[in-house]
């Protein structure tokens, strides 16, 4: 009977630890996600710098004067290659279009790497 109690306590301890240990904040991003993420903007970029990141393998966008590295999201984008239409440029208008569900507004800050230099 004592062994059963010890086993039960061990299982409860492990389950409790699963709820206490913080979960990863990657939210489905690939390994190439930028480490700043979560809206931490500690760097500024010029439009010229952003414009060089305009491909599927290196995709940055500008939304409301913030710079986002969305490279790891390109393949997941529900709209397919539409995300590349403004790669390396301002995507504010397209981002706030009617095609986006609320999920995109929840995850976008995870991709923020800085702000646009004026």
Number of separate domains in the chain: 1
Look up the domain containing 79 and give its range. 44-116
CA 28 to chain CA centroid, nearest Å: 8
Cβ atoms of 27 and 109 closer than 8 Å:
no
Residue 13: what pLDDT?
60
Residue 7 maps to a domain:
no
Q: Which residues of the chain have pLDDT under 50?
A: 22-39, 41
The pLDDT tens digits of the residues spanning 56-77 come to 999 999 999 999 999 999 998 8
The CATH number of the domain where 86 resides is what? 3.10.120.10
Q: For residues 112 and 38, give the distance between their C-alpha atoms in angstroms, rounded to a whole number.
A: 7
Q: Structure pTM?
A: 0.64
Residue 89 maps to a domain:
yes
């Amino acid at each position: 009977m004592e062994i059963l109690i010890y086993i039960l306590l061990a299982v409860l301890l492990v389950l409790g630890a699963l709820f206490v240990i913080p979960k990863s904040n990657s939210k489905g991003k690939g390994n190439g996600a930028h480490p700043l993420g979560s809206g931490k903007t500690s760097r500024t970029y010029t439009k010229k710098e952003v414009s060089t990141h305009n491909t599927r393998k290196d995709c940055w966008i500008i939304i409301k004067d913030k710079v986002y590295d969305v490279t790891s999201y390109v393949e997941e984008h529900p709209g397919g290659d539409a995300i590349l239409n403004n790669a390396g440029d301002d995507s504010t208008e397209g981002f706030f279009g009617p095609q986006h569900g609320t999920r995109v507004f929840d995850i976008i800050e995870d991709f923020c790497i800085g702000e646009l230099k004026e």
